[in-house]
A and B are shown apart, each in its own frame.
Chain A
Amino acid sequence: MPWIIIGVGNRDRGDDGAGVAVVEALTGCATHVVDAGALDMFNLWSETDDVVVVDAMRSGARPGTVRSFDVRETPLPGETFASTHSFGPAAGIELARALGRMPTSIEVIGIEAGDLTVGVNLSPPVVQAVHEVTRRLASA
């Protein structure tokens, strides 16, 4: 598995921790957790890497829905990835694009969040989705 996997989110905010849970379940590849300040996320990869970013999303879909976005050429859809910090992954990716620091390939996997209450665990549909995404990445 030659990829760099980046999990974005806060494990203390319920389903916001989905991306972090995926990264924690993966072994044998380069993984990183970004819990705040995705601004200079591009420092985690080089131009020749294949990158996957996993993050919780709020698109209005059913909790646990998994969507994949190829952001190498196209920005993430606006405001789907609501970050609790000023510069979320969408901004981090666009900053990388503006600075010519995009990797060879970059995919963002969004897991629709349900419960973002402080201090709660992942909700059952999101646990399911985390398993699904982890399996997909581990077998790639």
Chain B
Amino acid sequence: MTAESSTREINVDYLARVEGEGAMYLKLDGDEIIDLQFAIFEPPRFYEAFLRGRKPSEAPDITSRICGICPIAYQMSSINAMEFAADVEVHPQIRALRRMLYAGEWIESHTLHVYMLHAPDFLGYESAIELAADLPEVVTHALRLKKLGNTVMTLLGGREIHPINMRVGGFYRTPTQSELDTLVEELEWALGMSEETVRLVSGFEFPDFEMPYEFVALHHPDEYAITDGRIISSEGLDIDVSEWTEHFEEIHVEHSNALHCRLRERGTYHVGPMARFTLNHDQLTPRARAIADEVGLAKGERNPFKSIIVRSVEIVLACEEILRLIDEYERPPEPWITVESTDSVGHGASEAPRGILYHRYEIDPGGLIADAKIVPPTSQNQSSIEADLREFVGPRTQMEDEKLKWQLEQAIRNYDPCISCATHFLDLTVERVN
């Protein structure tokens, strides 16, 4: 930190609790915000370009490489798009297996964020390691919970990182009932432990802060949407996934290498656990609903710092759903069906741990991918993150730099931003002109 009479700067290197390369820049003149940017300088990765000319069946395996934390989300959205393009529907039990696998990813990703990345903020620790030294039992349980998520992904997806078993039309191999049954005992433990997690994190101290978000999430008539659904919002949007481009646009802003997304009509919107919780509140599973009620987490919660509670409730929901689906499982007659299409367009979306992940593919007359578009949740939330930061700083400009920096980093982590699975680096600068 350097301090001078007119300009003050704070730089934080190697902040290990944000996924990818990003930075925040804040310039203040007295109480006035001159400039505020949440920048992503992760270089463009050109996935959309190198999908061109590939077979539709390759899209799940190629796009799953975009993220080591949420590969299932990438596989699922691309599979949905290819099945949409071919106008096919898979067996209900194939859909159930996809939901189980996806719920495993939620458990793994949410547990990592809640305990290892976000909780240290609230408890005043620099990292999860310091947290572990003081509360070893909590961290041991967290790691066991995360490992269960990995076990689910390994059993259904073939391996825990970049799974390979899910494919367009189904799975390469479906599990037997007895294989799924091996998960039950640990899932029952996890269900209880995730309820304890909700109780623990709801006791944290939260800044008094709310934002008038427009929440956007998938909605499914029969269940808390994970793998698919229509796109709805708290302002009345209710569209099929294929209508995405009519309602959403991507804009390039100079300070960021990731595109900013906007609702064409109303601008900034918010995707992720808080949006899902409010928009699909009626479909919470029984124990998820009971624990949310117990800790006073209500539909419509708009304090982003409380997203840690919502994520914890979604871990409960994920455990309950896998248990239910194992109980109702019947091995499908075929592991997969053939999916082929030519000269068509496919749209697919699913609820990645961080929010809606939208894919669109054009398939040429020869049956190859002619064009691809991938819109990840963090790019959709970039404007919302900036809006939060701006609003949060407003009444706190007199806060000392170190404390302000800490709380702003925390505000960014509310979104669990996943900039990529490359080097993890956040450079945060606060500049005071006067």
Contact = CB atoms under 8 A, between A and B. Distances in A.
Q: Which 5 A-B pairs have the closest CB atoms?
A: A98-B132, A98-B133, A94-B129, A99-B136, A86-B424
Interface in A43-64: 43
Interface stretch (B139-147, B241-249, B330-338, B366-374): B139-147
Contact of B129 (A36, A85, A91): A91
B158 interface: no
A36 B136 contact: no
Interface of A: 35-37, 39-40, 43, 79, 82, 84-87, 91, 94-95, 98-100
A95 B133 CA distance: 8
Interface string B6-50: 000000001011010000000000000000000000000000000
Nearest to A96: B132
A39 B133 CA distance: 14
A98 B422 contact: no
Nearest to B13: A79
17 contacts: A37-B161, A39-B143, A40-B143, A85-B421, A86-B17, A86-B117, A87-B116, A91-B127, A95-B128, A95-B129, A98-B129, A98-B132, A98-B133, A98-B136, A99-B132, A99-B136, A99-B140
B129 A40 contact: no
Contacts of B133: 98
Contact of B147 (A36, A43, A79, A98): A43
B234 to A, nearest CB: 32
A82 B425 CA distance: 11
Contacts of B130: 98
B14 A36 contact: no
A40 B68 contact: no
B176 interface: no
Dominant SS among interface residues on chain A = loop
Interface string B90-102: 0000000000000
B416 to A, nearest CB: 12
Contacts of B136: 98-100
A95 B139 contact: yes
B144 to A, nearest CB: 9
A16 to B, nearest CB: 12
A99 B116 CA distance: 14
Most buried by A among B16, B117, B147: B16
A13 to B, nearest CB: 10
B423 interface: yes
Contacts of A100: 136
Given A91-B16, A98-B133, 10 more contacts: A43-B147, A84-B422, A84-B423, A85-B68, A86-B16, A86-B19, A86-B116, A86-B424, A95-B132, A99-B136
A95 B130 CA distance: 8
B362 to A, nearest CB: 28
Contacts of A87: 16, 116
Contacts of A82: 423
Contacts of B128: 95
Most buried by A among B127, B129, B132, B143: B129
A36 B132 CA distance: 20
Nearest to A40: B143
A41 to B, nearest CB: 11
A87 B17 CA distance: 9
